[in-house]
Amino acid sequence: MLKPEQVDREVLETVPFAYAGRRSVVDIIFPEFTSVCPWTGLPDFGELRISYVPRETCVELKSLKYYLNSYRNVGIIQEDVVNQILDDLVALINPVSMTVTGNFNPRGGIKTQVSASYPHE
């Protein structure tokens, strides 16, 4: 099992946003997110939603797919997944705003949904 600091951030790339200054909302849905419970080693499955208003750049989607897939063997709690992805993407593209939501499948009879936003209120 990998540690959260072993997530592959280097794979992330940007593309120019041709409509800088225009409020456009980009919604990305990743329905097959997988990470690992750090205590049991069992897989966590869920859907990630990333919604943001770009400033000058957007995240390149193939690189985002590779980045999100790099969580597959990472032992990390669900709350940390959402906040780490938010922090990494905000640092990469400096959006006007961004919300990351993890809608995780039930585990042990409990379903979890976690959201984190930028700018922080």
Catalytic member of 8, 37, 80, 87: 37
* Helical ranges in the chain per DSSP H: 61-69, 78-93
Residue with tokens 């922090």: 87
Cβ atoms within 10 A of the Cβ of 27, count?
9
Q: Is 37 a catalytic residue?
A: yes
Dihedral in degrees, nearest 10, Cα atoms 8, 117, 95, 72: 20
**Active-site residue set:** 37, 44
